Amino acid sequence: MSKWNPFFSLVVCLSTIAISCNQSAQAAAEQDFQLWTPVMLDRTVYKKVHGYFEVIPRVGDNVSGLNQFMLRPGIEYRLKDNFSIFAGYAWLSNYTDSGVQNEHRIWQQVLMNKSFKRCLLINRSRIEQRLFEPIDGASVRVRHLVKVNYPVHKRIYATVSNELFINLNSLEGGPQAGIDQNRLFAGVGIKTLKKARVEVGYQYQYINRSDRFDDQANHAIVIQSFVGLKD
């Protein structure tokens, strides 16, 4: 395996931020204020094999009602302490004025992290095969997250991340090939227990729809919990 260069990760992060800002300047996006409260659970199954489960409610429409709910289970295999591969399934429901649309995903992921001076640099690459009811066919999407954690106290750290989503194909009646969205997050993390922590912060999500005049910018307060269950 080739040596992972943390400076390349920073270049990717800055590039995706620039793409997001450029899109914002080109399109008049709809605005929404949201609240995301994801919970991530992790438990050792057998030696290097871990079970992984996410529960993700998202409240939108200016925090007036639930507009998305996702369950994302998976299996993690830790090749090294700082290198893991994942595979799993996800079920997502979108709640709109016209009704409920369900989406099913098969996903695969590579997770790498490396300490650099006082920082922890995290790279996460994921590919998703997305199935929408009742649309035929699958939309394939890749997404890459770059995250930096910087300790400011024994149990507190600052965190910033950027994640770019790209659709690899066009689906009739569904997502179109190209940049799908970008998420930029900044906040603070608190280590509450030995295997648990909470991150609280602000996220700017820019959704690039097929019609450039129908893009959406979401401003979200994110409270995400990471819990390692006892073995």
CATH number at residue 83: 2.40.160.40
Residue 104's Cβ-side half-sphere holds a number of Cα atoms within 13 Å equal to 7
103: its two tokens = 């989406």
Query: Total domain count for the chain?
Result: 1
pTM reported for the whole predicted model:
0.87
- 178 phi-psi bin (left φ>0, alpha ψ -120 to 50, beta other): left
210 CB neighbour count, 10 Å cutoff: 12
- Per-residue pLDDT, 21: 54
Is residue 150 assigned to a domain?
Answer: yes
Residue corresponding to tokens 């994942």? 86
Q: Coil, strand, or helix at residue 155?
A: coil
Where does the pLDDT of residue 29 fall: very low under 50, low under 70, confident under 90, or very high at 90 and above? confident
Q: How confident is the model at residue 161 (pLDDT cuts 50, 70, 90)?
A: very high
Q: What is the pLDDT of residues 8-26, one digit of tens each?
A: 555 455 555 555 555 544 4
pLDDT digits (tens, 9 = 90+) for 194-224: 889 999 999 999 998 765 556 899 999 999 9
The predicted model gives 111-140 an average pLDDT of 95
* C-beta separation of 198 from 224 below 8 A: yes
**Which value, in Å, is the radius of gyration of the alpha carbons in the chain?**
18
Kindly state whether residue 1 falls inside one of the protein's structural domains. Answer: no
- Measured CA to CA, the distance from residue 216 to residue 158 in angstroms comes to 27
**E-assigned strands of 98-215?**
99-116, 119-132, 139-151, 156-167, 178-193, 196-207
Calpha distance 159→120 (Å, rounded): 9
Residue 6 has pLDDT above 60, yes or no: no
- What confidence score (pLDDT) does residue 231 get? 67
> At residue 123, what is the residue type?
N
Give residue 2's pLDDT. Answer: 43
pLDDT at position 26, please?
A: 47
In a domain, 190, yes or no: yes
- Whether the CB-CB separation of 76 and 54 falls below 8 Å is answered with no
What percent of the chain has pLDDT above 70? 85
Instruction: Give residues with Cβ within 8 angstroms of 25, minimum separation 6.
Output: none
Confirm whether 90 is domain-assigned.
yes
Residue 137 has pLDDT above 90, yes or no: yes
Please state the rounded mean pLDDT for residues 104-119: 95
pLDDT score at 124: 98
The mean per-residue pLDDT over the stretch 95-105 comes to: 91
- What is the span of the domain harbouring residue 220? 6-228
Q: What is the pLDDT of residues 60-94, one digit of tens each?
A: 999 999 999 999 999 999 999 899 999 999 999 99
